[in-house]
A and B are shown apart, each in its own frame.
Chain A
Amino acid sequence: MKRERFERIERQFAPSDELVEQVLAKAEKLSAGEVTEKPMEGGIFMKNNIIRKSRAIPIVTAAASLVLVFGGAACFGKMGTEKPEVSPHENASESMTVTQKQEEQAENKEKESTADKSDDPQASSAAEKPKDESETKSREWVFLTEEGKDAAWHPDAGEDGSAEAAVRNIDAEVYTNFELDGRGYHYVTGKGENYSELYEDYTFNRNIPNDSYIGEELAHIDMVPWFGDAELTKGAEVYSLRNIDSDHLLAVKFDGSELYYLYAADSFAADSFESFAEAVQLRAVTFGGECVNRSQTYHASREQYLMIDDSTEFNELVFSLSGELVSQPTGEMAWQTFLDVPLFGGSLSFKWYADGYVTVNAFGNEATYNIGADAAGQIIDHISANGHTI
């Protein structure tokens, strides 16, 4: 193909005369002082990691308040100090999921039928006692366990508008692995939810935040739960991600759901850093603005966090790296950088070694590349010179 062909195409692009006139008119207004606003400058830089730290406090506080309120109510209920018109059963049901309610109703029906058959008041009373215990357990599970504390709950999730705390079942956490074309994939998610303003709008379900990431459908598969119960198999559509290597990352949409979840190959290591950056579309999947560099020390108390306010230059240094895949780095790690990735509400980690290596931990896969001592030194120097303690 000749260059003339490209140049011929390039000649087709010209702005309309109206557009040119608009610019001149705006320039005239600017010149005359009629317009005070300036055209947009600079990038979109977000100090999400600072926000993350400060936002964690009210969330933890809110969770603690809930534990105190509901946990306290449970204690008072047991002590018999609750209001007489609210039975412990009704009170406990507020903190149970719809599924749990249905299960409990079915259980109650069974128990009632058993009680009717036996026609024994003591049997009926005995049937109620373990039910109370199960209610207490369910309440603890919702609010007190690690899973419950971390899970999404809705104060107004009930269909009838009643206040209900519902723990959502996340399919991807049950169907964590699958195989496609002989390659294994696993569900990946970050810790973005509840930590950052940038994630809070869309990582409630730990899913891919935006459909615009999704490419073409590759297959429809039956997924088996991680505990291997074949009876609970669930159908799912597997999609590629736009411009991202499907040997590395895929999106999965479960039947009956509109949410996409991110899955990464169990084993993926590009043969060079640039191939890795290409495979995951490093520039596109990161916010492109903010990063935090953490020094590596052997004492947790001396751990130091640095923030680079304007990381445009730093990002360019990272995005322009090249180097071959090696088995392991040598020398001591100088800094560790985290680049936020909204695609899965988490971060990619880069460990920089002064000897000329970078170890990348991305989506559960780790690989080391020899980027050269000069490039590594440039990055390390840039972090040291521009980072400030947060």
Chain B
Amino acid sequence: MRRNDPAIQDLEMTMSKYKRTVYGIAVTQLNNRHEADDVFQEVFLLYFSKRPVFQTEEQKRAWLIRATVNKCRQYNFGKWNLHVDRTAEPEISAEFESQADKELYAAVKELPPKLREAVYLHWFIGMNVGETADILGVRANTVSMRLAKAKKLLQKRLEEEI
């Protein structure tokens, strides 16, 4: 059945291509694995139910990233999560190649949410400042400012040049 339905086939193909991008944003922006899993599901089911049409593959990628960022914001700044202690939830764990990578990721997770968004899109995913600004709905100089602040905070935390 799955192979016969073109929409499901498209979803499967899209997921195989962008699952790491979407999940990476969710994992970095959110505080626990349950939320990251939920956002992952919501984003792709939104894509499946809306079935947006894109001219280019870049547009599709941007749509998925924007949807993921927005979903994460809903989780982080929604009324429910502002008033709920989520420290008891299982934390996200990943196997890093080195202790330095682990420390860097921990330092990124400590950044304020809006700096973290810019950092992930620009440094981790490799979007340029203009693309990052478009995704976040802010101006390019705002993104530059956030990146500069993030860099400063990371350097202070890690005591090394970034």
For chain B residues 147-162, which have a beta carbon within 8 Å of chain A? 149, 160-162
Number of interface residues of B (CB under 8 A): 62
Contact: B124 with A10, CB < 8 Å? Answer: yes
Q: Quick check: is A44 within 8 A (CB to CB) of the other chain?
A: yes
How far apart sit A31 and B82, CA to CA, in the bound complex (Å)? Answer: 34
Contact: B2 with A24, CB < 8 Å? Answer: yes
- Chain B hits for A30, CB < 8 A: 45, 48-49
The digit string for B22-56, where 1 denotes a CB below 8 A from any CB of A, is 01100110000000010011101110110000000
Q: Quick check: is B101 within 8 A (CB to CB) of the other chain?
A: yes
Contact: A39 with B126, CB < 8 Å? Answer: no
Q: Quick check: is A278 within 8 A (CB to CB) of the other chain?
A: yes
How far apart sit A342 and B78, CA to CA, in the bound complex (Å)? Answer: 12
Contact: A283 with B41, CB < 8 Å? Answer: no
Q: Quick check: is A145 within 8 A (CB to CB) of the other chain?
A: no
Contact partner, B23, options A14, A209, A283, Cβ 8 Å = A14
Contact: B124 with A6, CB < 8 Å? Answer: yes
Contact: B96 with A9, CB < 8 Å? Answer: yes
Contact partner, B79, options A22, A23, A198, Cβ 8 Å = A198
How far apart sit A264 and B19, CA to CA, in the bound complex (Å)? Answer: 44
- Chain A hits for B80, CB < 8 A: 44
Q: Quick check: is A79 within 8 A (CB to CB) of the other chain?
A: no
Contact partner, A283, options B2, B19, B113, Cβ 8 Å = B113
Contact: B19 with A14, CB < 8 Å? Answer: yes
How far apart sit A7 and B96, CA to CA, in the bound complex (Å)? Answer: 12
Q: Known contacts being A319-B138, A320-B139, is A342 close to B8, with CB within 8 Å?
A: no
Q: Quick check: is B131 within 8 A (CB to CB) of the other chain?
A: no
How far apart sit A40 and B46, CA to CA, in the bound complex (Å)? Answer: 8
Contact: A23 with B149, CB < 8 Å? Answer: no
Q: Quick check: is A38 within 8 A (CB to CB) of the other chain?
A: yes
- Main DSSP-derived SS at the B contact region: helix
Q: How far is the CB of A321 from chain B (nearest CB, A)?
A: 9
- Chain A hits for B83, CB < 8 A: 202, 209-210, 212, 342
For chain A residues 207-259, which have a beta carbon within 8 Å of chain B? 209-212, 243
The digit string for B88-124, where 1 denotes a CB below 8 A from any CB of A, is 0000001111001100110000001110000000011
Q: How far is the CB of A38 from chain B (nearest CB, A)?
A: 6
Contact: A212 with B85, CB < 8 Å? Answer: yes
Contact: A13 with B20, CB < 8 Å? Answer: yes
Q: How far is the CB of A377 from chain B (nearest CB, A)?
A: 15
Q: Quick check: is A8 within 8 A (CB to CB) of the other chain?
A: yes
Closest to B20 in A: A14
- Chain B hits for A38, CB < 8 A: 49
Contact: B95 with A12, CB < 8 Å? Answer: yes
Q: Quick check: is A126 within 8 A (CB to CB) of the other chain?
A: no
- Chain B hits for A342, CB < 8 A: 82-83
The digit string for A119-143, where 1 denotes a CB below 8 A from any CB of B, is 0000000000000000000000000
Knowing that A9-B104, A198-B79, A316-B137 touch, tell me 19 more A-B residue pairs with CB under 8 angstroms.
Answer: A5-B100, A5-B104, A6-B123, A10-B24, A12-B95, A13-B24, A13-B94, A14-B23, A15-B23, A19-B37, A22-B41, A23-B15, A27-B45, A30-B49, A39-B45, A41-B46, A284-B77, A287-B77, A319-B114
12 contacts between A and B (CB under 8 A): A8-B101, A9-B101, A13-B24, A13-B28, A19-B37, A19-B41, A28-B5, A31-B8, A38-B49, A43-B70, A278-B112, A320-B137
Where the two chains meet, the residues of A that have a C-beta atom closer than 8 Å to any C-beta of B are: 1, 3, 5-15, 19-20, 22-24, 26-28, 30-31, 38-41, 43-44, 46, 198, 202, 209-212, 243, 274, 278, 281, 283-284, 287-288, 316, 319-320, 322, 342
Nearest 4 pairs of A and B residues by beta carbon: A320-B138, A13-B24, A10-B124, A1-B162
Where the two chains meet, the residues of B that have a C-beta atom closer than 8 Å to any C-beta of A are: 1-2, 5, 7-8, 11-12, 15, 19-20, 23-24, 27-28, 37, 40-42, 44-46, 48-49, 70, 73-74, 76-80, 82-87, 94-97, 100-101, 104-105, 112-114, 123-126, 137-139, 141-142, 145, 149, 160-162
